[in-house]
Structure 1
Amino acid sequence: MRQDARVLVLAGGLSYEREVSLRSGRRVADALSRANVHAELRDVDTNLLPDLIADPPDAVVFALHGGNGEDGSLRSVLDLIGIPYVGPDADAARRAWDKPTAKALLRDAGLPTPEWIALPRETFSDLGAAKLLDRIVDKLGVPLAVKPARGGSGLGVAVVRTAEELPAAMIGCFAYGDVALVEAFAPGKDIAVGVVDTGDGPRVFPAVEIEPSGDAYDFAARYNPGASTWHVPARLAPRVSEDVAAVATAAFRTLGLRDLSRIDMMVPQAGPPLVLEAKVVPGMTETSLLPMACEAAGHDLGELMAGLVDRAIARAK
């Protein structure tokens, strides 16, 4: 099937993650080409919809980070015009993209996730920032993790060690989104788990342990050479590795994800692994975590993606 298929890899767009998305897209398109798939890299602009209608591809692969690629909206458009795509459907993407919604679903399913509060910018300003932040610290304590409720690539992420650091972290977070997610920070090993389903149910790749040079795995730590060290597989005891795999698989199922995703977790010294979030469109750059895990599992990235393309086309039929 794949030799005859024309695949469009969507990347770029206008989000803060544009440049990272283009890097992911180029890598995915190159990997598919090496797997004998006719793959075209396509930026997302106002001509996309007319072009899709005039000359529809056989399938779409998302390397589009940020809103349109991960919030379900563009997936709804593809469903409307009948073009299959790799990854979760629009509803599941929307659930996972919104971190507070995803965390509520995980909590209701009995999966451990740090306690949190989601705070819109308007609430932050209208109710008085100082009093509100004092109550957050009273409830959640410190340290805290602050991040945009919707977004990725570590943009707007900060670890707050003292109450005095929280106002600046909130302002930095609101630069990248209108809702801030503030959650209790559980010290431990920062872990990313790739989950893939090629038709036989979800299975996990070896966990990747992230060791940033600073406090947070932010944008600079992800994409600047030498700013982070990664351990694949993660340095975990066998029983803990089993628990991480089980929790990641359960999170994948709970959120209704499909094909592939990345589940980000924190593994404390004591207690169960904590689910932080699920990535709808995992990064595919040279320093991204899912390709590292794929290679550690002995899989070729292009062959993996080609298999998922085949599955998307078959699913549509």
Structure 2
Amino acid sequence: MTVTPSPRVVVLAGGLSHERDVSLRSGRRVADALRSVGVEVSVHDVDADLVPALVQLQPDLVWPLLHGTSGEDGSVRDVVQMLGLRLLGTGPRESRIAWSKPIAKTVAARAGLATPEFVTLPQSLFRELGARQVLDAIVHRLGLPVVVKPSRGGSALGVTLVTSPDALPQAMVDCFAYGDTALVERAVAGTEVAVSVVDTGDGPVALPAVEIVTEGPYDFDARYNPGRTEYFAPARLSARAAGDVAAAALLAHQALGLTGLSRTDLIVDDEGTVWFLEVNVAPGMTETSLLPQAAEAAGLSLGALYRSLVDAALTR
């Protein structure tokens, strides 16, 4: 692979989503890591000054580290490509597919991955059919416990584990605070892991799985505030299970047409079945994020890994 000397990279971080602060932290850490290996980096927010800045700078590469709607639904990536600039990571079309959890789960299931049974319900349906009847139908169909989450979104915002029928109405209210469509899926008990996939030019490779252990839900606070969650990198899995989750993440990455890097969230149940939950095309890069932990578990320098991702994107 040809290595581009001293590439100029613009990292996009911030935006107006609920995950703005996380994105800013991710952007700063990636920029620092790239500078440590000789990459010229500037970090830009997504605002009215972005397009003029990109036109003026004409960077070699744009790395979107935006979480939430505009960063992961393909829209900002569309704009970058319309300006004739190269992207690091998944393109707009594939990002839109991965961003929709119901569509991503359907694609994963068609590729052969197990995924918990689910229903997708817009907020308007509850007004039209009556909330009680719809909620009763959910419990009848899926049983309990279930997980309620926005059909699009990240960082576990609006996500609730529901163990009793009485808690379901509030869970729906909390979910609709972050989006107008809810995904309700049967909860699966087991070991929760995240598997990051990176492609530094020789094809996608799964990094060691990271196991997530937390008291209570793995919510926004548990993800980004140290102390709430314990991580094991690599995950405490058998060799067979470790291979299975790596294969599942690679299959999801390829089936969804993802590029550069991704992170797949999975659960391994007591029977050893690997369940696909969702995939992220813009994994967090903060001090508690899972991809950096996986890279370090693999013995990789973050600066060297990020530089390899940049070089691969420039030669792809």
Aligned to 1:247: 248
Aligned to 2:35: 33
Aligned equivalents of 1:226, 1:192: Cα separation in 2: 18
The answer to whether the Cα contact below 8 Å between 1:205 and 1:297 also exists between their aligned partners in 2 is yes
Aligned to 2:134: 132
Aligned to 1:164: 166
Q: How many angstroms does 1:167 deviate by?
A: 0.7
Aligned to 1:273: 274
Aligned to 1:294: 295
Aligned equivalents of 1:224, 1:74: Cα separation in 2: 28
1:1-317 equivalences in 2 (<5 Å): 1-214=3-216, 216-315=217-316
Aligned equivalents of 1:248, 1:49: Cα separation in 2: 34
The answer to whether the Cα contact below 8 Å between 2:4 and 2:314 also exists between their aligned partners in 1 is no
Query: Does the residue aligned with 1:88 lie in a helix, a strand or coil?
Result: coil
Aligned equivalents of 1:104, 1:98: Cα separation in 2: 10
Q: What is the Cα-based RMSD across aligned positions, in Å?
A: 1.1
Aligned equivalents of 1:53, 1:34: Cα separation in 2: 26
The answer to whether the Cα contact below 8 Å between 1:146 and 1:182 also exists between their aligned partners in 2 is yes
Question: Percent identical across equivalent pairs?
Answer: 54
Query: Does the residue aligned with 1:309 lie in a helix, a strand or coil?
Result: helix
Aligned equivalents of 2:85, 2:218: Cα separation in 1: 35
**Counterpart AA for 2:241:** V
Q: How many angstroms does 1:74 deviate by?
A: 1.1
Q: How many angstroms does 1:125 deviate by?
A: 2.3
**Counterpart AA for 2:127:** S
How many residue pairs are counted as aligned between the two chains? 314
Aligned equivalents of 1:293, 1:26: Cα separation in 2: 19
Q: Which runs of 4+ in 1 moved over 2 A?
A: 1-4
Aligned equivalents of 2:280, 2:315: Cα separation in 1: 24
Query: Does the residue aligned with 2:251 lie in a helix, a strand or coil?
Result: helix
**Counterpart AA for 1:218:** D
**Counterpart AA for 2:95:** A
Q: How many angstroms does 1:271 deviate by?
A: 4.3
Aligned equivalents of 1:3, 1:199: Cα separation in 2: 16
The answer to whether the Cα contact below 8 Å between 1:2 and 1:36 also exists between their aligned partners in 2 is no
The answer to whether the Cα contact below 8 Å between 1:10 and 1:63 also exists between their aligned partners in 2 is yes
Q: Deviations over 1:24-56 (max 9, x none)?
A: 000000010011101111111011112212322
The answer to whether the Cα contact below 8 Å between 1:155 and 1:176 also exists between their aligned partners in 2 is yes
Aligned equivalents of 1:181, 1:4: Cα separation in 2: 44
Q: Deviations over 1:139-158 (max 9, x none)?
A: 01111111111111111111
The answer to whether the Cα contact below 8 Å between 1:85 and 1:309 also exists between their aligned partners in 2 is no
Q: Deviations over 1:284-310 (max 9, x none)?
A: 001101100000001111211111111
Aligned equivalents of 2:215, 2:4: Cα separation in 1: 42
Query: Does the residue aligned with 1:187 lie in a helix, a strand or coil?
Result: coil
Please, which runs of 5 or more residues in structure 2 have no aligned partner?
none
Normalised by the length of structure 2, the TM-score is 0.97
Aligned equivalents of 1:271, 1:33: Cα separation in 2: 42
Normalised by the length of structure 1, the TM-score is 0.97
**Counterpart AA for 1:25:** G
Q: How many angstroms does 1:126 deviate by?
A: 2.0
Query: Does the residue aligned with 1:306 lie in a helix, a strand or coil?
Result: helix
**Counterpart AA for 2:275:** L
The answer to whether the Cα contact below 8 Å between 2:199 and 2:312 also exists between their aligned partners in 1 is no
